[in-house]
């Protein structure tokens, strides 16, 4: 599933080509995504100018006047900029056409979202309840320490709770915890102030490294120009069960935590 780095990579790739441009037409080939694509989108978006492309968590908010296009890539979705004469492929469900290019939404599993919402999109029901942005100045060790007090659940599960912190999915939670030297199953409330500080910094560093690498492509993800990400080549623990730790040589372990595969080094993480 595309997480914060993949969505931010997509935003950075498409925003310069959309902002300030006028939408000419909208084509919906298959409206049956996680929620039906609104019929009114085809009538209300054309003729509007794109004001901004914003990321909130794993959502893209494409603002156009007094309404916004709210997009979530789901499990397998991607947005690509293609020339206007590019034939649609199977699973190319929505086209937003500009004068010289198309923003094309592709989603084989159709778990994504393309919605049309009044205002700037921040009060959309799926956006309004999101937690803190981990790359924001407000997210730091002090915030994490205060938030984890009294919590008995595993720290990895807290990191993946979008109502608490947005966009830190399974890959980036595992990698951040490795960099901070913390075992995934550690009770969140047992982390000291110093360890919370290290973890907050590790999350920011991991996410920024992933953004610089163009995100992680395990199967479907491509950026706005159809290119895969490369962060999967830099991971320390994720998906490396029974392989040697890149730091100490110990064997990487795996278990299920919160119904998700979890990876850690028994020597580097305590």
Where is 116: in which H helix or E strand?
strand 113-118
Q: Which of 2, 5, 134, 184 is catalytic?
A: 2
Cβ–Cβ < 8 Å for 78, 221? yes
Question: Structure tokens of 151?
Answer: 């919590």
Active site residue 16: no
Sheet holding 52-56, edge to edge: 52-56, 59-64, 67-72, 113-118
Active site residue 134: no
Active site residue 58: yes
Alpha-carbon dihedral angle through residues 158, 159, 165, 167, given to the nearest 10 degrees? -140
Could you give the residue ranges of the DSSP H alpha helices within the chain?
4-18, 41-44, 125-128, 141-148, 155-159, 170-180, 193-212
Q: Which of 48, 109, 110, 260 is catalytic?
A: 260
CA atoms of 146 and 126, how far apart (whole Å): 25
Active site residue 2: yes
Q: Which of 11, 56, 58, 195 is catalytic?
A: 58
Q: Which of 3, 6, 8, 175 is catalytic?
A: 3
- Which active-site residues does the annotation give? 2-3, 58, 260
């Amino acid at each position: 599933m595309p997480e914060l780095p993949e969505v931010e990579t997509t935003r950075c790739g498409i925003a310069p080509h959309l902002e300030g441009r006028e939408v000419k037409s909208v084509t919906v080939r298959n409206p049956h995504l996680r929620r039906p694509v609104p019929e009114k989108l085809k009538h209300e978006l054309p003729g509007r100018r794109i004001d901004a492309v914003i990321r909130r968590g794993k959502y893209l908010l494409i603002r156009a006047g007094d309404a916004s296009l709210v997009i979530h890539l789901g499990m397998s979705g991607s947005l690509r900029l293609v020339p206007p004469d590019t034939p649609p492929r199977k699973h190319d469900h929505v086209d937003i056409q500009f004068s010289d290019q198309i923003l094309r939404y592709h989603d084989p599993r159709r778990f994504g979202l393309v919605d049309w919402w009044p205002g700037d999109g921040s009060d959309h029901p799926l956006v309004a309840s999101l937690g803190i942005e981990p790359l924001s100045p407000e997210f730091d060790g002090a915030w994490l320490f205060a938030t984890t007090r009294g919590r008995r659940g595993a720290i990895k599960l807290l990191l993946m709770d979008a109502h608490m912190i947005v966009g830190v999915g399974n890959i980036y939670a595992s990698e951040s915890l490795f960099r901070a030297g913390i075992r995934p199953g550690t009770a969140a409330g047992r982390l000291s102030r110093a360890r919370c500080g290290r973890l907050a910094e590790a999350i920011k560093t991991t996410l920024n490294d992933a953004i610089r690498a163009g995100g992680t492509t395990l199967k479907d993800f491509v950026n706005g120009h159809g290119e895969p990400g490369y962060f999967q080549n830099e991971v320390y623990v994720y998906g490396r069960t029974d392989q040697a730790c890149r730091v100490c040589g110990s064997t990487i372990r795996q278990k299920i935590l919160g119904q998700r595969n979890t990876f850690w080094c028994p020597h580097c993480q305590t």
